[in-house]
């Protein structure tokens, strides 16, 4: 299978997953008793990541396809996460708990604001360590958000529930956006680990005139 074919297949799978998330949310599959943690929501967030990991491990051609993607473009996509300010607004209106909204909201805003800068300045072999560090920070933000979203009810049983995140349109954030952003981070890290910094030999430099 060529890279173009993998591109079409991947795009089709992304669209199919988005449609599933919309339909499942519309049928209230992710909705449950506010007193219980949203386990199904967490599973929906993990499933695409697991599929991607297994596919990458099993198929060298798929790995080559992901390596061919533009890291600057993949990183620029993360700028959409500035929309995480919505969590802060929801917290202000006491719709979602602060234990979830504050780290998720501020973390997403920070990643979203810095994504264009990282894409333009750090997506280079000579900055691969800084590039990878930023990607790791982006993953950490998502992990913290999902963890707090699924466990905040356990931490504060009588506090505000995260049930708003199980209904449209908010349900698309944990079920679709989070796994997609996570996968893009993984691809960028895998790419950066393969970058090689060009080494310039000192023997190729001209000698100073005093040495002639």
Task: Report yes or no on 212 lying in a domain.
Answer: no
Token pair belonging to 139? 């993953």
Residues 151-199: tens digit of each pLDDT: 776 676 677 877 888 888 999 999 999 999 999 999 999 999 999 876 5
CA R_g for the chain: 21
Residue 185 domain-assigned? yes
Q: Is residue 173 in some structural domain?
A: yes
How does pLDDT run across 1-57, given as a tens digit for each residue?
888 999 999 999 999 999 999 999 888 888 766 556 667 777 888 999 999 999 999
Q: Tell me how many domains the chain contains.
A: 1
For residue 18 the two structure tokens come to 């988005």
Residue 111 lies in a domain: yes
205: in domain: no
Identify the H or E element spanning 39. helix 39-58
CA distances from 28 to 11, 31, 42, 133, 157 (A): 26, 5, 15, 38, 22
The whole model's pTM is what?
0.87
Q: Closest Cα to residue 38, out of 173, 143, 151, 144? A: 151
Q: Which domain holds residue 142?
A: 3-194
The answer as to whether 12 is a domain residue is yes
Residue 53 forms part of a structural domain: yes
């Amino acid at each position: 299978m060529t890279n173009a074919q993998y591109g079409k297949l991947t795009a089709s799978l992304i669209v199919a997953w988005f449609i599933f998330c919309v339909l499942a949310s519309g049928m209230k599959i992710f909705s449950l008793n506010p007193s219980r943690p949203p386990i199904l929501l967490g599973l929906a967030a993990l499933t695409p990541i697991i599929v991607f990991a297994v596919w990458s491990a099993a198929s060298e051609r798929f790995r080559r396809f992901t390596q061919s993607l533009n890291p600057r473009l993949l990183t620029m996509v993360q700028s959409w996460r500035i929309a995480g300010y919505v969590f802060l607004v929801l917290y202000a209106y006491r719709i979602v708990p602060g234990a979830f909204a504050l780290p998720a909201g501020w973390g997403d805003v920070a990643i979203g604001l810095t994504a264009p800068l990282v894409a333009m300045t750090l997506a280079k072999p000579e900055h691969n360590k800084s590039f990878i560090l930023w990607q790791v920070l982006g993953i950490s933000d998502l992990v913290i958000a999902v963890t707090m979203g699924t466990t905040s009810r356990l931490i504060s049983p009588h506090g505000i529930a995260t049930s708003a995140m199980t209904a449209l349109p908010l349900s698309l954030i944990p079920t679709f956006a989070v796994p997609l952003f996570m996968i893009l981070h993984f691809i960028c890290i895998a790419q950066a680990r393969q970058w090689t910094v060009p080494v310039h030999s000192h023997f190729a430099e001209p000698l100073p005139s005093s040495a002639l």
